[in-house]
Structure 1
Amino acid sequence: MRALIVDDESRVRRAITLLVDWKSHGIDELQEASSGSEAIEMIRQSKPEIIIMDMMMESGNGLELMSWVNEYAGSIKFIVVSGHDDFDFVRNTVRNGGIDYILKPIDAEAINAAVSKAVAEWKREDKERNDIQRQTIRLNEFKPLYGEKMLSSFIDDPIPAESTLRKLTLEGIIPEQAKNVRLLLLQVDTGDTPLLKRFANESELLHFAIINICNDFLRSQGRGIAFKYWGATSEIVILLWHQYEAVTDLILQMNEGLFHTLQRRMHFGVSSVGDLPRSIPAQYKEALTAVTRRNLLNPGEYAHTSKPSSVGTGPASLNTGNGYIFFSSVQEDWKMAIMSGSSERIDVVSQKWVDDLSRSGIVTPELLEIWKKDIASFRTRLLREMLGDEADAAFSQLEELDKESKPPFTTGYSFSLFAWRDWSNHYMKQLSRIIMERQARENRTMMDIIKYIDYHYQTEISLQDIASHFFVSREYVSRKFKQEFGINFSDYLGQYRINKAKTLMLNPNLKIVQIAEMVGFHDVKYFSKVFKKQEGVSPKMYRSNLEK
């Protein structure tokens, strides 16, 4: 802390210097002035916290200095040392916030007590000032968030919209004369990795920069406000309440500003004009529709209005009415290419898809989202159809692979048909590979099961024994026998044993009961029953026919 002693007598200044225990009060810098005018200059330069001053001086008296300090350096605490026991002097000292009025000759205990009180009072007020400053900083940080929340509520919670508008008007965010409004919606490209890297991958910082650039153009002309919409992760909303008819020129200006700073231009969905605030929810939907149905094949257009035609989300089909191509138009081609396992065939199908999209003349973010959902549903159905019970395991495996090969962003500004072609190509090849691998594994498993039966048909063998030995489910084994042979496991085993028994009957030295035991039947009567069911005659009659 700094202290300043102001007195026109050097012996008084010297006395004060010696009498006060400056170190114990935390004062490490001491200065002296011989007049009020000199003191003012020193206060301006060094900004002391404590002043000890005389009331009567030849150049600039203490009353003038006290008034100046009170007006221009109000945080300074001062102590008056005077040889005059004058009521007016004391009253002025108190009026100007003085800590104490000490009469000369100066008592050491009195001056130290006054300095201690002055230091304590300055520290208390400094803490209050710092607390207020921190609160102000937090409030200033919170104000934009508070404003964003209220502005976003126009869209998400329209019931108290009139009350919200009054609050925003009182806060000076929306002018009182604003009656009509047009809404613009800017979708930030969340897949623009190079741009995000410039902001340390902090999307909030990027949004903040874009909002500031837009607001530079809006606030300078009092046209409106841009804010982060809380209802979506990557959307910035602009409300225009002045000069909203010249929206195309405004978007051009903002994009020039964005390009100058970020080297990017943004796409804006534009609503029609409506009443503030009642129309804002509908305007948001209109602008969202406009930006999600913008034609990605025309990247140079940045202002987008909603069209009457609708893509819709009904059954996927080729819609020749508006040029949209849906997944159903290529679904069979994709299925055949995947099931063929041919990499060349998949290449052809992928290229044909993007060629068809290019020829259609229109590709929208909304359409790409529909494609993604239809493709995902197609994959699930195909896995069920081709792998049955194994489909869930294959689906989990593919989901893990999807994390390494994500589709391009549908809202991305750097749209490329080739990027979508490459993704679809990889997607189909992954699916084809997984299906082929699992089918091959199933085929190998069935071959092993048949070999197992060949080696163990003479013993007691059940469906559960097979399932346990090969670590598959009973249902899997049963389903595979139905698929491969058209019969269930028990019928297959019975036929296999009877066929073996027929071969053994060629040996006239083997009795029927022996043959039954040798092929796994421990009850000759049951063997005869099964044999007759399959061959239409009893084992004895079958052997007799062989001997003829």
Structure 2
Amino acid sequence: MMFRAIVVDDEPRVRRGLLALIPKLDPEWSVVGEAKNGLEAIDLVKREMPDLVITDIRMPHMNGLDLLIALKEYPVHVVILSGYGFFEYAQTAVKFGAFDYLLKPVKPPEIASLLQRLKEHKQVRDLPAGPAVPALNYSKWWKDWLTGSEEAESYVSRLRELLPKNAERFQMMAVEIDRFDELSLEDQWGDKQLVSFAVRNVIQDVLAAEREAPFVHLFTSGPQLYYVNAGGGCALDAAKRVAEEVRKWVKISVSVGLSETSAKFEALPLLYRHAGEALRNKWIHGGGIVSRFEDVLSGEREASGYPTHLDEEICRAVRAGDRDKALKGVETFLDEIKRNNVSFRLFQRFGLQLLSSVNRIVYENRVHDLVAKEASQPQDLFQRDFGADEFMAYMGDWIGATISALDWNRQQRHNRTIEKAIEFIHKNYAKDISLEDVALHAKMSGSYFSSYFKQETGDNFVEYLTRLRMDKAKSLMMNSELRLYEISQMVGYQDVKYFSRLFKRHAGVTPQEYRQFFYRKEDS
């Protein structure tokens, strides 16, 4: 087995020495790269995936301690090089997770001993690490791969080795700490990291007891913690115990989303997304729930007797911004359910399905935060019994808030579009540009852009462009060294006579008269 190292030092002599010395001391080690500072080293680590980084403490751009902290997300051991004057910094580095430190000038026996200890540690990496030897952190690799980073494809096989070799089924579990931001402001906690640490410790104790469904923690991202079940046992029971035990021991509510299972390790990115989708059910049902992706799928399938045609009509009206038509559709929706004499349980299910359809529009347009500010949360209604009138009132508020948010979002897009078009005109007014050129830049048809531009600016395209060119021409006329034909070409007109006619129509005087007036004004 070969081991890989990179050397980071701003002194070329030190880099060359270690580059030659390491493979001589131990043929199982090779130096696969060198860097002058921490920033170069990070790129090398991503590209070469070494087992060891030997780095100096004092370097430009990014020093050794900052590099050590940055590499905590990567599965690599770091050894610090330090002069005697920086011995305390080296000791601090060990506290921050460095494997060890070496004092300059480095002696070959010390390096040989270090390389041997690292090999031994990596060969028994599945055993619990002692306090002096920090465990490797693969969370960055897991997160990159599961979230679709292209760089991650190069180390997928390494990640597979971290899970049990005999695993036959895989399942993702996403845990989210409810009210995460609020908890960090409470006196009891006061810190997001402390909240996350307390919850993860409880979850670790609960999952450690799961023999039939062994879970592995992959990474933490803000309030969310991700685990993979690599044993095929009943993850649903374990997820329920997680929610119960966290609530019991630290008085914090967590929600859990479970994906389906798959026999393929390569399916984990898909399972990761499905666990996240299941987790989003908490938004409707409230925090503290355990939701399975299978339940999400079944909820999206057309229910027996569900008025799908009315659901679609209501959603079309919401997208079109027609609040009255959407609410009329909800009334008809409720009347049809009543006529069919459905049970209360099915009425709740249909109501939730309609809300989910409208809510899908909210998420598609990324206006959830805007809607949430204007309307009460769905769990306020669906966690208790409610009647048809109450549901109608709630949907009125929700649809109204959704349409308002969509209008605002649409206006923001329009504002960005007109700004983009005007910016293009101002950059290219000196060229022979047409309405079609600007429409193409704004990604609109020519006819639609013409109406849109007139509506937003009050001028048609030709009027706006002509006025801009005339204003630029007036400014250029202040320069007495510029001839009239030069000014004409500089503002987009090759024919100086045509330019003169347009200028007189716009300014009321010819270009020559305007210039004479300007200079008389300056003289006076």
Which one has the largest radius of gyration? 1
Normalised to the residue count of structure 2, the TM-score between the two structures is 0.38
Normalised to the residue count of structure 1, the TM-score between the two structures is 0.37
